[in-house]
Amino acid sequence: MKKAIVIKITGQVQGVGFRWSAKNKADDLKIFGYAKNEPGGRVLIEVEGETTAVDKFVDWCKNGPDSAQVEQLDIENTEPKGHRSFEIVLN
């Protein structure tokens, strides 16, 4: 079963390697999408793949890398876009 979501992560999540760590985790789980920094200090991640893998990724996002301090996760379901890799969007 496939699942696609958008995750907005709030806290100390920029400048701590969150996007790069998210890419490594997504690659490990074989899920696809992208991560980018947003104005105001949030990280936005769009991800799609097998439901169990996406759920594991969400669990990882609740803490992120050791240097991050996640305060809030906002998750919305979305339609799969057909991503074929996980990319880091550089602003």
What tens digit of pLDDT does each residue of 26-74 get?
Answer: 999 999 999 999 999 999 999 999 999 999 999 999 999 999 999 999 9
Give CB contacts under 8 A, 24+ apart, made by 14-21.
14/41, 14/42, 14/43, 16/64, 16/65, 16/67, 16/68, 17/65, 17/67, 17/68, 18/43, 18/64, 18/65, 18/68, 19/43, 19/88, 20/88, 21/64, 21/65, 21/68
pLDDT band at 3 (very low <50, low <70, confident <90, very high): very high
| Domains, in order of start, for the chain | 2-81 (3.30.70.100)
In this model, does residue 4 exceed pLDDT 80? yes
Catalytic residues: 19, 37
pLDDT at 54: 98
Residue 91 banded pLDDT, cuts 50, 70, 90: confident
